[in-house]
């Protein structure tokens, strides 16, 4: 009975939720466009106000970014707190959207546009779910303290937002539910229970310049040394252990008639398991020191490896598995198959799970996040969200949250 009520309410409210999504998509909120990020935050706050949410903002630490937003209902003593997590920013600069004519466009069940899948579609689904609860099961809304937590700079950094959450969410928050896109296909829905951690590094090689014709032997080629180091970096990849190392950029030298005196590479490493992550990080940093490429006079290239930033893994854990089990049980009752997924990409879940029970992948289904290009042959297709995925996913989340709140009694 409850499933039918939620499904009917969600179906009736879907046009309003998609119109809300359209309003968000039409505001550019590239991370570095602080004005646009804040405009999306204002628009969301205005949309949630009729549902009883007030808005507070927390400036991001980075001066060029917008403000994190926390929308909350009036405190209800003795009731559990649920945090519904999304983010305000996208990866698309305004000029890229204009150049590729990347705008809201609906073609059948697919809706194209910046952030439709990552993650404005998730924010729209939060709205749809809560509005349907108000219509179909208003008793649920008064049995929790609701906070919609919106990161201003998730595409760049989650640690700053996590610090803000520690200030804005009460101790003992029952769950942080992250509305990144669903990862399933066909008749299977997939939620995220773990994510890889990521560390980025810079490798700088200092060699010895020399004339490439008359003094080649007196030089120590920094590019050759960097190439040898890159081979060793690539060897740290271990698919069996879930560890990947990707050298993303290289540069070095100045002109062809000079033995290059300097070269630089940047790279990232990812892993699910914290022990494997720490082992790989140590192996990368251990590559610093004197290299094997030397001049005839004995001058060795020097290799310096620096850790630029890192976001720790979100490994499998008891609290996430407990939440996943609730969603799977609710899905079975609603006739929806729910699978468990681990992802290589980062989300706010990486930063939140050590502090709160966390589950991810609660948003709608789509594809091609972070892509704005389209080609006539279909080889390139921009980001899109499946309009027909909103209702079943909102029903699943509403049913599961109902069960979660009952378990908190």
7-29 per-position pLDDT tens digit: 999 999 999 999 999 999 999 99
229-288 per-position pLDDT tens digit: 999 999 999 999 999 999 999 999 999 999 999 999 999 999 999 999 999 999 999 999
Q: CB of 87 within 8 A of CB of 348? A: yes
- pLDDT tier for residue 408 given thresholds of 50, 70 and 90: confident
CA 329 to CA 336: how far, in whole Å? 9
Strand-strand pairing, 366-367 and 210-211: unpaired
CA 179 to CA 361: how far, in whole Å? 6
What is the model's pLDDT at position 378?
83
Question: Are residue 130 and residue 263 in the same domain, yes or no?
Answer: no
CA 203 to CA 28: how far, in whole Å? 35
Q: CB of 362 within 8 A of CB of 393? A: yes
Q: CB of 129 within 8 A of CB of 398? A: yes
Question: Are residue 279 and residue 318 in the same domain, yes or no?
Answer: no
Question: Are residue 238 and residue 187 in the same domain, yes or no?
Answer: no
**Residue 203, domain CATH:** 3.30.70.360
- pLDDT tier for residue 193 given thresholds of 50, 70 and 90: very high
DSSP 25-78: HTS--BTT-HHHHHHHHHHHHHHHGGGT-EEEEEE-SSTTS-EEEEEEPPP-TT
Q: CB of 192 within 8 A of CB of 294? A: no
Domain count, the chain: 2
Report residue 182 CA to chain centroid gap. 12
Question: Are residue 291 and residue 335 in the same domain, yes or no?
Answer: no
Question: Are residue 143 and residue 109 in the same domain, yes or no?
Answer: yes
What is the model's pLDDT at position 1?
66
46-60 burial, b for 16+ CB within 10 Å, e for fewer? ebbeebebebebbeb
Nearest Cα residue to 110 out of 394, 367, 392: 367
Question: Are residue 216 and residue 300 in the same domain, yes or no?
Answer: yes
336-354 burial, b for 16+ CB within 10 Å, e for fewer? bebbbbebeebbbbbbbbe
312-368 per-position pLDDT tens digit: 999 999 999 999 999 999 999 999 999 999 999 999 999 999 999 999 999 999 999
CA atoms within 13 A on the CB side of 249: 8
pLDDT above 70 coverage of the chain, percent: 100
Residue 151 β-bridge partners: 87
Question: Are residue 294 and residue 382 in the same domain, yes or no?
Answer: no
Over residues 208-223, the mean pLDDT reads: 97
Nearest Cα residue to 80 out of 151, 210, 172: 172
Question: Are residue 77 and residue 175 in the same domain, yes or no?
Answer: yes
Per the structure, the complete domain to which residue 32 belongs is given by 2-195+314-407
Residue 82, pLDDT > 70, answer yes
Residue 144, pLDDT > 70, answer yes
Question: Are residue 234 and residue 304 in the same domain, yes or no?
Answer: yes
C-beta atoms surrounding 288 within 10 Å: 15
Q: CB of 301 within 8 A of CB of 225? A: yes
Question: Are residue 211 and residue 322 in the same domain, yes or no?
Answer: no
**Residue 81, domain CATH:** 3.40.630.10
Question: Are residue 172 and residue 212 in the same domain, yes or no?
Answer: no
- Return the sign of the alpha-carbon dihedral for residues 61, 63, 64, 70: positive
- pLDDT tier for residue 409 given thresholds of 50, 70 and 90: low
Residue 125, pLDDT > 90, answer yes
Question: Are residue 188 and residue 321 in the same domain, yes or no?
Answer: yes
Q: Give the global pTM.
A: 0.93
Residue that finishes a domain, picked among 293, 311, 329: 311
CA 146 to CA 245: how far, in whole Å? 40
Laid out side by side, the sheet with 300-311 consists of: 244-252, 262-271, 197-206, 300-311, 289-294
Residue that finishes a domain, picked among 311, 335, 364: 311
Residue that finishes a domain, picked among 279, 311, 343: 311
What is the model's pLDDT at position 2?
83
Length, in residues, of the chain: 409
pLDDT above 90 coverage of the chain, percent: 96
Residue 252 β-bridge partners: 263
Over residues 42-57, the mean pLDDT reads: 98
C-beta atoms surrounding 97 within 10 Å: 18
φ, ψ of residue 18 to 5 degrees: the values are: -70, -35
Residue with tokens 């899109």: 384
């Amino acid at each position: 009975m409850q499933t039918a009520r939620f499904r009917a309410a969600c179906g009736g409210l879907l046009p309003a939720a998609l119109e809300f999504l359209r309003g968000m998509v039409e505001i550019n909120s590239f991370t570095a466009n602080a004005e646009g990020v804040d405009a999306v935050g204002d628009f969301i706050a205005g949309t949630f106000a009729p549902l009883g949410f007030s808005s507070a903002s927390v400036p991001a630490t980075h001066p060029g970014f917008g403000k994190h937003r926390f929308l909350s209902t009036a405190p209800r003593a003795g009731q559990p707190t649920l945090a519904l997590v999304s983010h305000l920013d996208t990866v698309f600069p305004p000029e890229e959207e204009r150049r590729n004519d990347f705008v809201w466009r609906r073609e059948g069940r697919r809706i194209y546009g910046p952030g439709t899948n990552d993650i404005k579609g998730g924010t729209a689904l939060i709205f749809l779910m809560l509005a349907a609860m108000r219509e179909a099961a208003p008793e649920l809304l008064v049995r929790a303290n609701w906070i919609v937590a919106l990161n201003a700079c998730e595409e760049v950094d989650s640690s700053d937002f996590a610090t803000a959450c520690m200030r804005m969410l009460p101790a003992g928050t029952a769950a942080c539910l992250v509305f990144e896109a669903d990862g399933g296909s066909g008749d299977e829905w997939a939620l995220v229970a773990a994510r890889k951690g990521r560390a980025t590094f810079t490798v700088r090689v200092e060699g010895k310049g020399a004339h490439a014709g008359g003094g080649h032997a007196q030089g120590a080629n920094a590019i050759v040394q960097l190439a040898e180091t890159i081979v060793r970096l690539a060897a740290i990849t271990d698919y069996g252990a879930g560890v990947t190392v990707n050298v993303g950029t290289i540069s070095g030298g100045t002109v062809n008639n000079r033995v290059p005196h300097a070269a630089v590479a940047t790279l990232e490493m990812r892993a699910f398991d914290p022990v494997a992550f720490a082992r790989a990080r140590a192996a990368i940093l251990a590559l610093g020191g004197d290299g094997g490429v030397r001049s005839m006079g004995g001058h060795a290239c020097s290799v310096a490896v620096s850790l630029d930033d890192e976001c720790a893994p979100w490994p499998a854990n008891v609290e996430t598995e407990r939440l996943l089990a609730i969603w799977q049980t609710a899905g079975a009752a609603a006739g929806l198959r729910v699978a468990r997924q681990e992802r290589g990409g980062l989300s706010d879940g990486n930063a939140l799970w050590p502090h709160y029970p966390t589950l991810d992948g609660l948003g709608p289904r789509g594809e091609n996040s972070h892509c704005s290009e389209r080609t006539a042959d279909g080889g390139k297709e921009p980001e899109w969200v499946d309009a027909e995925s909103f209702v079943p996913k909102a029903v699943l989340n509403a049913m599961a949250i109902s069960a979660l709140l009952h378990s908190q009694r």
